[in-house]
Amino acid sequence: MCLILLAYRVHPRYPLILAANRDEFYQRPTVPAAFWESEPQLLAGRDLKSGGTWLGITRTGRIAAITNFRDPRSVRDNAPSRGRLVTDFLRSNVSPAEYLEILRQQSQVYNGFNLIFGGREKLFVYSNRGNIPPLLPPGIHGLSNHLLDTPWPKVTLGKKALAEILAHGKQPAVEDIFALLADCTLPDDRLLPDTGVGLETERLLAPLFITGPTYGTRSSTLIMIDEKALVTFSERTYNRMSGQNVTATFHFTIED
């Protein structure tokens, strides 16, 4: 994931709304979101290169999503896949607070990451590149490839747009949120961060929706959990070669 937008305890009907874009090299093999045959409780996409995932939810309401922390000078080629951090939490029975302690003990073997994880009652956020409060407070939040709510242009724009969609407390329009995630607006150079990748790459990575020649937004995901524990999970995958988009939607009620 390269962008996660969250409305947490903001909307009167949906205590949790998560909208996210996954940006990746086009050639990296991927399976779209589905309930896994090997893990029938787990709904997520699958990275076929390393076996993990970038975002998922279980029938019992465990949820996790990850972004990379952009710091090219510290990247280690032999580090384990960060997608394991998502699947390890989703497959486990440990509480989010217990998993937080596991992360604190083991996270330095991974390249930089931010992980959002938990359930309906409590969400945690952890980064191995910064000391941030672990409990996510109510509000509208944005996470890209730096710490939570770092005001990169895509984060600022995404949070503002999501707030406007939810402002009247009505039923959120799924297509409005997908349109938000499809925004290709390129911000002014003076607003771009300097993360060590050079200006041309900063420009490429700056929009909410990325359309590079070899790297870009592969899928957009929307998860909405209402006050009765009904989950709506919609994923839209993009085929750059054919120009066709495929949307899959799943509904289920969280099991107690």
Per residue in 52-90, pLDDT (tens digit) is 999 999 999 999 999 999 999 999 999 999 999 999 999
Strand boundaries in the chain, DSSP class E: 3-8, 16-25, 30-35, 42-47, 55-58, 63-68, 113-118, 123-127, 139-143, 215-225, 230-238, 245-253
Q: What is the Cα–Cα distance from 81 to 55, expressed in whole angstroms?
A: 14
On the question of pLDDT at 242 being above 80, the answer is: no
Distance CA 48, CA 213 (A): 21
List the one residue out of 158, 119, 152, 159 whose CA is nearest residue 136.
119
- The whole-number average pLDDT for the span 220-224 is 98
The pLDDT, as a whole number, for residue 216 is 96
- Tokens 């297509």, residue located: 175
Q: What is the pTM of this model?
A: 0.97
- Per CATH, the homologous superfamily of domain 3-253 is Penicillin V Acylase; Chain A (3.60.60.10)
166-170 long-range contacts (CB < 8 A, ≥24 apart) are 166/7, 166/10, 166/11, 166/17, 166/140, 169/11, 169/12, 169/13
Q: Exposed, middle or buried by CB within 10 Å (0-12, 13-18, 19+), for 250?
A: middle
Q: Which of 33-37, 49-53, 67-71 has the lowest mean pLDDT?
A: 49-53
CA distance 146 to 2: 10
For residues 128 and 108, the answer to whether their CB atoms sit within 8 Å is: yes
Closest CA to 221 of 67, 59, 28: 67
**pLDDT greater at residue 134 or residue 168:** 134
Burial 133-157 (b: 16+ CB within 10 A, else e): ebebeeebbbbbbbebbeebbbbeb
pLDDT at 1: 73
State residue 10's pLDDT score: 96
**SS3 (DSSP) at 158:** helix
Is the pLDDT confidence value at 240 over 80? Answer: no
pLDDT tens track for 98-149: 999 999 999 999 999 999 999 988 999 999 999 899 999 999 999 999 999 9
The residue to which tokens 């911000």 are assigned = 187
CA distances, 144 to each of 38, 95, 128, 175 (Å): 30, 25, 14, 22
AA identity, residue 152: W
Give the start-to-end residue ranges of the domains of the chain.
3-253
